[in-house]
Structure 1
């Protein structure tokens, strides 16, 4: 599992943004946030992510250049979710449809009982120049405590 000081791995070819086969490139310099969520359209995730959308300007004022929401869902579901939660927002919604990125960072868990497959733990990583400077992982997927945008803003 990634930890403070870890390098963020290169995005696998299956980590898409906006359309199929449009692999995202995570920045190697600057400061950004990755918000990992178990699933688009789930009630906890749909209440978690709007805080990052609504506070995007505050995050930028604290030096954050980008916010990436990573969900283990296909690109069509992720795009529909962004349309519902963040239409016109600068927050990037990424489809990790195969869960490869989530496995690379070591934050996957077996959610087959509820969501049908392995999913991402709920986490927030603050990344600067390719290295994790702050990592918060919820102890249970439905929780939004240490990963709440207010907690992250106060830590920046």
Structure 2
């Protein structure tokens, strides 16, 4: 009973897993810092969600370029979109996108999304306490391959600074 009470108090959600359906209706912000426009559960076809702890952090800034550089290869494997989701505001995610692309347009399949309140990340159970380093709750480093709202494959790093199973080349190779 005390375990259930602790879970309710913490507001924790069960982490997404293979076969799960993402039902979150949180609208993430892509270009408009005042209004979310992308609802992950409403995406159709095969899409990839790349959850990162924070824009501009060294591990995230080394991981995400692989998805930008390999965007066409992902599209050739049937991926409609690659959605980079960071618990940051839209100004930060857009500035990070510009830095990573050298000011050029990102490939059309690549989208940088702000989960500015962390609500989406929390709802799918991928939030962790990063207060000591990043000031508050952040996203675990993960990659989810979706078919519509259904998680077909999920890769989660054991530690936030690690970029091994979520490296673009590894995910591309593992795609069905």
Per the shorter chain, which TM-score range? over 0.9
How much does 1:109 deviate?
A: 0.4
Equivalent in the alignment of 2:160: 141
Aligned partners of 1:55 and 1:113: how far apart in 2?
33
* Corresponding position of 1:88: 105
Aligned to 1:118: 137
Q: CA deviation at 1:53?
A: 0.2
Which consecutive unaligned segments of at least 5 residues does structure 2 have? Answer: 1-14
Q: CA separation in 2, counterparts of 1:28 and 1:95?
A: 16
4+ residue segments displaced more than 4 Å: none
* Number of equivalent positions: 155
Which of these residues, 38, 46, 50, is aligned with residue 65 of structure 2?
A: 50
Over the residues paired in the alignment, what is the CA RMSD in angstroms?
1.1
Q: Which structure 1 segments of 5+ residues have no match?
A: none
In structure 2, the residue matched to 1:59 is 74
Residues 1:9 and 2:26 are matched in the alignment: no
Q: How far off is 1:130 after superposition?
A: 1.4
- The residue aligned with 2:47 is 32
Query: Paired residue for 2:121?
Result: 102
- Greater Rg, structure 1 or structure 2? 2
Q: Is the 8 A contact 1:70 1:94 kept in 2?
A: yes
Give the whole-Å Cα distance in 2 for the aligned partners of 1:29 and 1:96.
20
Pairwise CA distance, 1:129: 2.2
Q: Is the contact between residue 24 and residue 123 of structure 2 (CA under 8 Å) also seen in structure 1?
A: no
Q: Give, in angstroms, the shift of residue 150 of structure 1.
A: 1.1
Question: 1:131 maps to which residue?
Answer: 150
